[in-house]
Amino acid sequence: MSKRYDAVIIGAGVIGACVAFELTKKGYRTVSVDKNASAGYGSTSGSCAIIRTYYSAYETCAVSYEGWFYWKDWPGYLGAADPRGMAVYNDTGCLVVKTTHNKGLAHIAAMMDQIGCPYEHLTPDAMRARLPILDLHQFFPPRRPDDPAFGVPTADAVDGGIFFPRGGYVSDPALTAQNVEHAAKARGAEFRYRAEVVEVRRQGNRVAGVTLADGSAIDAPIVVNVAGPHSSKINRMAGVYEAMKMKTRALRHEVAHVPAPEGFDFEKLGCVYSDSDIATYARPELGNHILIGSEDPACDTKEWVDPDHYNREFTEQWRVQALRLAQRIPSMGIPSRMKGIVDLYDVTEDWIPIYDKSDLPGFYVAIGTSGNQFKNAPVAGKMMTHLIEACEGGRDHDKDPVGFHLDHIDRDISIGFFSRNRDVNPNSSFSVLG
């Protein structure tokens, strides 16, 4: 016998948990289903959990700056202390290198002015004063280590950088989802794990619920796809995939985990670091380590995969990323034993997420998010809830896009910016930077 709910949320990563939390706060009876063993055990657990405000579009900058305020007061946002412990936000700030490729970050600075987010221009000398371990020669364009020109400076120095004081990272991303799960449960939400969706059911022209692999059925007039790298598979089950102009795919990524240079406390003195000159980003990690990710340069091959069947072992790409950062931090050692993360991003063609309804009434999507939307989870939960309420109340979001007010920064955006039917945004970085 099926059990009836107001809404089923597919996925209990940090964004899925926030959708459940926000819907429950509005009085919806929700159940979240996830094929993993616990909240945050999917792609959320593999996130670098960086909190930053700089993106390639006004709307994503505004959402991420709004999100910073929730991370800054994480316990206050949730209103329920998790006995497993609370995730800790490290407010280190973010240093981004200016390059010709990112046009000296002029567009980013202009958007920060629009949303009222503080920043500071730094000369190369000021960057070195902040992080004395940096070698600030220019190496652009990014290359692979087998290129004879790899590591050979192309100019005496980069063009400087911008420091964004409002940014940092969370050291335990899975715990964040579990914190939200606990807060949602305190308000009556239910969560089911090792619960794989095998069917999205319809009744007439509307979604009617889901069927799980064990044969059990869950009835609900609302289903929200927040399935991360599996989002396209869920959309196919719902019969909405082909009608979407903007689609998602699973992309395999590696993150290297290396010790900080001897004699420098990067955990205490470092910050989130983004460097398009060498196509690398990094952040401090517990135990005075550094996490190193790729900014997806053209010389690297993108590995699109089936999210249920992909290589979970490190490859030469791990070494490529470590060596790229070693150009900038020559004193950084590269251990022979590879440590870090191999996981998946769920990305759209322009790396901007889809927060939207679908062509199937009652079926909503918060997808294309992993890789650069962890930081926006609390706002995404609120925004999806606002969208669902409007659409269920009769609003035609496709013809009359729903607006959303960002309370902390007092700005308004259109949720239509994140439409499934939008054109590719030509201003995108077309990388994990969004």
CATH number at 152 reads 3.30.9.10
Q: What is the DSSP letter of 376?
A: G
- Same domain (yes/no): 155, 201: no
The predicted-structure confidence for 4-50, as pLDDT tens digits, reads as follows 899 999 999 999 999 999 999 999 999 999 999 999 999 999 999 99
| CATH, residue 176 | 3.50.50.60
Q: What is the pLDDT of residue 125?
A: 97
CA 18, CA 382: separation in Å to the nearest integer? 8
Instruction: Look at residue 136 and tell me if it is in a domain.
Output: yes
Q: Which distant-in-sequence residues (6+ apart) come within 8 Å of 203 by Cβ?
A: none
Instruction: Look at residue 424 and tell me if it is in a domain.
Output: no
- Same domain (yes/no): 155, 177: no
Q: What is the pLDDT of residue 372?
A: 87
Instruction: Look at residue 427 and tell me if it is in a domain.
Output: no
CA 172, CA 108: separation in Å to the nearest integer? 28
190's enclosing H/E stretch is strand 190-193
Crossing angle of the two packed helices 106-115 and 58-72, in degrees rounded to 10: 60
Instruction: Look at residue 40 and tell me if it is in a domain.
Output: yes
One-letter identity of residue 240? V
Q: What mean pLDDT do residues 217-234 have?
A: 98
Q: What is the DSSP letter of 140?
A: P
- Same domain (yes/no): 39, 116: no
CA 375, CA 257: separation in Å to the nearest integer? 21
Q: What is the pLDDT of residue 429?
A: 85
- Same domain (yes/no): 177, 161: no
DSSP string, 8-77: EEE--SHHHHHHHHHHHHTT--EEEEESSSSTT-SGGGG---EE----SSHHHHHHHHHHHHHHHTHHHH
Q: What is the DSSP letter of 402?
A: P
Q: How many CB atoms lie within 10 A of CB 141?
A: 17
Q: Which distant-in-sequence residues (6+ apart) come within 8 Å of 124 by Cβ?
A: 136, 157, 158, 159, 160, 161
Instruction: Look at residue 354 and tell me if it is in a domain.
Output: yes
CA 268, CA 399: separation in Å to the nearest integer? 50
pLDDT reading at 2 higher than 80: no
pLDDT reading at 395 higher than 80: yes
- Same domain (yes/no): 130, 241: no
Percent of the chain scoring above 70 in pLDDT? 99
* C-beta separation of 319 from 145 below 8 A: yes
- Same domain (yes/no): 367, 317: no
Percent of the chain scoring above 90 in pLDDT? 95
pLDDT reading at 233 higher than 60: yes
Please name which of 302, 305, 337 lies closest in space to residue 319, comparing C-alpha atoms: 337
- Same domain (yes/no): 262, 338: yes
Domain ends where: 342, 365, 386? 342
Q: What is the pLDDT of residue 94?
A: 98
Q: Classify each residue of 81-111 as buried b or exposed e, where b means 16 or more C-beta atoms within 10 Å of its C-beta.
A: ebeeebbebbebbbbbbbbebbebbeebbeb
Instruction: Say how many CA atoms lie within 13 Å of 282 toward its Cβ.
Output: 30
- Same domain (yes/no): 396, 354: yes
The predicted-structure confidence for 158-212, as pLDDT tens digits, reads as follows 999 999 999 999 989 999 999 999 999 999 999 999 999 999 999 999 999 999 9
Instruction: Look at residue 129 and tell me if it is in a domain.
Output: yes
The tokens for 120 are 């500071």
Domain ends where: 342, 369, 394? 342
Q: What is the pLDDT of residue 370?
A: 76
The predicted-structure confidence for 54-71, as pLDDT tens digits, reads as follows 999 999 999 999 999 999
The predicted-structure confidence for 329-387, as pLDDT tens digits, reads as follows 999 999 999 999 999 999 999 999 999 999 999 999 999 997 889 999 999 999 999 99
- Same domain (yes/no): 65, 191: yes
- Same domain (yes/no): 260, 144: yes
The pLDDT mean for the chain works out to 96
CA 293, CA 281: separation in Å to the nearest integer? 5
Confidence bin at 430 (pLDDT 50/70/90): confident
pLDDT reading at 1 higher than 60: no
Burial of 422 (0-12, 13-18, 19+ CB in 10 A): middle
Instruction: Look at residue 425 and tell me if it is in a domain.
Output: no
Q: Supply the range of the domain harboring residue 303.
A: 89-169+253-342
- Same domain (yes/no): 79, 187: yes
Q: How many CB atoms lie within 10 A of CB 136?
A: 21
Domain ends where: 287, 321, 342? 342
- Preceding peptide of 83 cis, ω within 30°: no
Q: What mean pLDDT do residues 84-104 have?
A: 95
Instruction: Look at residue 70 and tell me if it is in a domain.
Output: yes
CA 346, CA 106: separation in Å to the nearest integer? 29
pTM value > 0.95: yes
- Same domain (yes/no): 158, 266: yes
Q: How many structural domains is the chain composed of?
A: 2
